A and B are shown apart, each in its own frame.
Chain A
Amino acid sequence: MSGRSILKRIDWLSVFIYFALVFIGWINIYSSTFTDEHSSIFDFSTLYGKQLFFIGVSLVTIVVVLALEVNFYERFSSLLYLLSMVSLLGLFVFGKTIAGATSWYDLGFFNLQPSELAKVATALALAKYLSDIQTDIKRRKDQFYALLIILVPAILIIPQPDPGSALVFFAMIFVIFREGLPLYYLVIILSLILVFVTTLMFGTVWLIIGLALLIIILFATKRKKLKIPVIPLSLVSVAVILFSLSVNFVFNNVFEQRHRDRFGLWLRLEKDPKKLEQIRKSIGYNTYQSEKAIESGGFFGKGFLEGTRTKGDFVPEQHTDYIFSTVGEEWGFLGTATVIILFTVLFLRLISLAERQKNAFSRMYGYGVISILLIHYFINIGMVIGILPTIGIPLPFFSYGGSGLLFFTILLFIFLRLDTNRLKESF
């Protein structure tokens, strides 16, 4: 296919939103790392200068990604997956440690984070496996293999330690769901989360009381013809109670104090408002500062380069994980709502793109892309605005960081490249 027809068929809405997000992101990185000693935006010794450089690199990469043959990605996906797993293993030997996590290779001019590569590779490999003519996701064995593809990189990443990135891989379960993994898996996962949270908030006793109430309601409102499966129901109840008890055990004995603190803060387990305020200002310092910065922006924001808390460097890691708080302070609700809407439109657009693929691999890869971007977006902004516990992962296209921007770009544009070929069932 010629370059011209790619430009004709590429989804310009997605491309536009991508550039909008990258641009807004850079503006805010500039603001949060800007100092009064003015220097050129092309000064690569500054953080905003470096980020600008990586935006340039990403542009070049986009050209390359679009120029490659469309079947290249499917064909080489297994190899790429293998390579990326090797690179993750290699970290245990050659890895560079930054801020306590051995997650980087030192390439001299910049640090490469192989987990970013692994996200792209896993999305490709999963799509390839699921789209294989011989795979039937209704079969237990195939379900297992599919999960394995996701779990291997996650397990390799956890000990770095980087639980945040590992979490991203679990999000790809959505792809398998889309392709027919029974929904009760999802129900089980959601129930486990629910039991976990209620146990921490109210304790096992209240959980049992709640469970008993539910069962009573079930019996009270049942229709005559419907038989209630008594044995499975009691088994489930016992399982829930056991899990609840194990949550207590794990929370008190396996978790470290900082994890307990984070959950304690998130679920407001401390009831004394004075102590809670203390915890918010010490353990929850980052989130506290970022919430305050966002709140102080008000509806219209304080204006570009006018954020007092941003200028005073009150929010730690503001140019990376907490970049959204800069948007909040300087651009106000108008700014934050714009960013949320841009992301939402992008996600919905990508879903509609994925759904219009004739080719199964393209569709599944599309869902992989959406899952990865969505979980980053959800956890990052959720953390910055204080409704989720602190889990350090970046905001796609926004946060400062070369590898991140580069691989998010590759991730997205491979899909947009596949999309240009959507009318063909195979390549």
Chain B
Amino acid sequence: MRKILLSLIIVVIAITFLGRLSYLQIFSFSAEQVLEDPAIKAIYDYPERGYIYDRNGHLLVGNDPAYDVMVIPREVQPLDTLEFCGLLGIDKEKFVEKLRRARVYSPRLPSVLVPQLSKQDYAKLQEKMRKYKGFYIQKRSLRYYDTPSAANVLGYISEVNEGDLAVNKYYVQGELKGRTGVERYYEDLLRGRKGVQYIQKDRFNRDIGPYKNGTIDTLPEQGKQISITIDKALQEYGELLMNGKRGGIVAIEPATGEILSMISGPTYDPALLVGRERSKNYTKLYNDTIANPTWDRSIHAQQPPGSPFKTLNALIALQEGVLDVNTTIQCYHGFYVGKKKRGCHCGGGLRSLNKGISQSCNAYFAGAFRKIYEKFETTDEGMDVWEKHMKSFGLGDYLGYDLPFGQKGRIPNKEYYDKWYGDNRWSSSYIISNAIGQGEILATPVQLANMTAAIANRGHYFTPHILKKIEGKDITEPKFTEAKHTTIDPKHFEPVVQGMADVYVSGTARWLQIPGIEVAGKTGTAENFTKIDGVRTQLTDHSVFVAFAPVDDPKIAIAVYIENGYFGSRYAGHIATLMIEKYLKGEITLKTLEKRMLEKTLKAEYAKPYSREEFKINERVW
């Protein structure tokens, strides 16, 4: 025993040591460690960030050179301060203070003395620069926006923070990264890859030559030029129309799923988030929590869709065979939710599918909805079938578009109501509001536009997307180029499309006709509520409109959602119609409509809940 003890100890020590060493050298070891090695300094060569073009090749985002005046305090020698300040365009006190701060930060490392000189100041300064020892000019690249629009789509870039650094080892302090929109989603494409050169340092931070003779150094990889599906002219026009209104507009090319425009109101000029005033502007935008200009309503605002939803219920009823085109339902100016009567504006009378859609008859769709459920023995079964059809239109889920995720909306299912009312304690009459797109249904503008595109295509859609070309080559990603089929047979679409076309001819949007273009649309008016001092208060209805045109060969499908705009045919209908004409004709003939939209704002409407006074809703404004 005594004899073995020491041998045993020796073996245990050896195993412990080898264990610890393998932990350090095999398991903890990673090839990227070279970046953390204090003995190796990486010098980076940054490629230019890729340009962004619209679908027709117009520039949206480029780069602008900017010039920072840098200082290394230790190397500064006595100078003619007055002359230098004159060249820099700052006063002497500020200069002295900035120099002091730079020295406090580090006497050896460069600090920014004056950021982002204008080109003119730079030109003046450049030739005299060599006189001033310890100062130099560093060229940087800033984003340049060739449009005042599409801030929500393009997104902005800003310096990486500690969180980013922890998540992605690529970035180094001070680098820029896309934060929202395309800049964020296609960060890797746009950014390119920085080149790197490794320098061996000793512990006094002195260079002692290239590391491994430069064999692992890399060259920078250029950022890619990309084209996005946005139509610059249409986008800019839409934002003009949104003047003083809140809401979202999404237009999609049905044949491809390409997003032609994606507007959120209110918005801001993307140039505000570049340059010297950036942080001031950002704070201002970010702190506006009422209008919320940095919140992209086109993908985030989930609201009850209202009557455009009737088209889907019509399709489901046809698909399930619970009614046909000739089936009529009597409208007594309303229908019942439980014991409560809800009104209908259609005028009443015997309604068929066509009239139901074109006159937006609530009672007809309440009846159709009930028929769907009556087909099945239990409400649960009916609910499952209904949910399956709805979801096949891309509702109630993230669509999978190539932008940072918005909201998924909501298509309620049986579990949802079981939780609400209790298992088997509800029936179709409890949820009848879903028939007309109220109730528990929520959708975002992009989902409504996609749904409209699916109707325009008579039964299928392409996942909406924003990327069109990389370096001039069309994208081939199957996710965006393969059709998604709905669960509705294509033959059922014709009568519904006809009803939508009649909306423009004889229905709720008959005064919005565009000369020479046949449009199919559907108005929507969505009730909504807010809480004022804890009291549930109804606000003016949201104005909703979906449309596509031309009816026979759809080039554009659009959804417009205007908060508190009252009837669908008003704000939303106007804007959708103008956008369609703009896109298809390139010019506007409906001058009256245009003038009305450019001039009318809803500011008074939005001020109501904050007025602390009694207010009326759903007032007639024109």
Contacts and interface: CB of A to CB of B under 8 A. Distances in A.
Interface of A: 36, 174, 177-178, 180, 183, 291, 294-299, 306, 308-309, 311-314, 328, 332-333, 336-337, 340-341, 343-344, 347-348, 351, 355, 367, 370, 374, 377-378, 381-382, 385-387
B38 to A, nearest CB: 6
A348 B5 contact: no
Contact of A341 (B7, B14, B26, B212): B14
B24 interface: yes
B16 interface: yes
A405 B182 CA distance: 67
A336 B202 contact: no
B37 A309 contact: yes
Nearest to B1: A183
B18 A296 contact: no
Given A296-B37, A297-B25, A355-B3, 15 more contacts: A177-B2, A177-B5, A178-B6, A180-B2, A295-B28, A298-B26, A308-B39, A311-B39, A312-B39, A312-B200, A312-B208, A340-B18, A340-B21, A386-B20, A387-B16
B7 to A, nearest CB: 6
Interface string B18-58: 10111011101100010001111000000000000000000
A314 B37 CA distance: 10
Given A296-B37, A311-B200, A312-B38, A336 B10 contact: no
Interface of B: 2-3, 5-7, 9-11, 13-14, 16-18, 20-22, 24-26, 28-29, 33, 37-40, 200-203, 208, 211-212
Contacts of A347: 10
Contacts of A387: 16, 20
B68 to A, nearest CB: 31
Given A332-B25, A336-B25, A296 B33 contact: yes
Contacts of B203: 312-314
A355 B7 CA distance: 12
A385 B20 contact: yes
Contact of B21 (A36, A178, A336): A336
A328 B21 contact: yes
A329 B29 CA distance: 11
A308 B212 CA distance: 10
- Among all A-B residue pairs, the 4 with the closest Cβ atoms: A312-B39, A308-B39, A333-B25, A298-B29
Contacts of A174: 6
A377 B39 CA distance: 29
Contacts of B16: 387
14 contacts: A178-B2, A295-B28, A295-B33, A311-B202, A312-B203, A314-B38, A347-B10, A348-B11, A351-B6, A351-B10, A374-B6, A374-B10, A385-B20, A386-B20
B29 A295 contact: yes
A346 B2 CA distance: 19
A201 to B, nearest CB: 19
- Of B10, B14, B202, B212, chain A has the most CB atoms within 10 Å of the CB of B10
Contacts of A313: 202-203
B21 to A, nearest CB: 5
A348 B10 contact: yes
Nearest to B16: A387
Nearest to B209: A36
Contacts of B38: 309, 312, 314
Nearest to A310: B39
Nearest to A178: B2
A348 B18 contact: no
B524 to A, nearest CB: 54
- Max chain A C-beta neighbours (<10 A), residue from B3, B17, B37, B212: B17
A252 to B, nearest CB: 30
A385 B2 contact: no
B26 A340 contact: no
B17 A340 contact: yes
A372 to B, nearest CB: 13
A131 to B, nearest CB: 16
Contact of B40 (A178, A308, A348, A377): A308
A312 B198 CA distance: 14
A370 B28 CA distance: 33
A300 to B, nearest CB: 9
B25 A328 contact: yes
A386 to B, nearest CB: 8
B25 A298 contact: yes
Contacts of B25: 294-295, 297-299, 328, 332-333, 336
Contacts of A336: 21, 25
A299 B22 CA distance: 8
B17 A295 contact: no
A125 B138 CA distance: 74
Contact of A295 (B2, B18, B24, B200): B24
Contacts of B29: 295-299
Contact of A337 (B5, B21, B33): B21
A49 to B, nearest CB: 21
Contacts of A294: 21, 24-25
A333 B21 contact: yes
A328 B20 CA distance: 12
Contact of B24 (A291, A308, A378): A291
B166 to A, nearest CB: 13
A341 B14 CA distance: 7
A328 B26 CA distance: 12
Contacts of A183: 2
Nearest to A344: B14
Contacts of A298: 25-26, 29
B14 to A, nearest CB: 4
A370 B20 contact: no
Given A294-B21, A295-B28, A333-B25, A344 B10 contact: yes
Nearest to A346: B10
A332 B21 CA distance: 9
B10 A337 contact: no
A299 B26 contact: yes
A390 to B, nearest CB: 16
A355 B219 CA distance: 64
A396 to B, nearest CB: 14
Max chain A Cβ within 10 angstroms of own Cβ: one of B3, B21, B29, B212: B21
A184 to B, nearest CB: 13
A336 B18 CA distance: 8
A104 B522 CA distance: 98
Contact of B11 (A36, A308, A344, A367): A344
Contacts of B211: 308
A296 B39 CA distance: 11
A312 B29 CA distance: 20
A178 B1 CA distance: 10
Nearest to A374: B10
A290 B22 CA distance: 15
Contacts of A177: 2, 5
Contacts of A333: 21-22, 25-26
A342 to B, nearest CB: 11
Contacts of B33: 295-296
A138 B236 CA distance: 100
B17 A381 contact: yes
Contact of A340 (B2, B5, B14, B40): B14
B555 to A, nearest CB: 58
A180 B22 CA distance: 37
A369 to B, nearest CB: 12
A360 to B, nearest CB: 14
Given A177-B2, A332-B25, A311 B20 contact: no
A190 to B, nearest CB: 11
Contacts of A382: 17
B37 A308 contact: yes
B171 to A, nearest CB: 21
Most buried by B among A296, A333, A381: A296
* Listed residue (B6, B200, B201) with the most chain A CB atoms within 10 angstroms of its CB: B6
A170 to B, nearest CB: 15
B276 to A, nearest CB: 34
Contacts of A36: 208
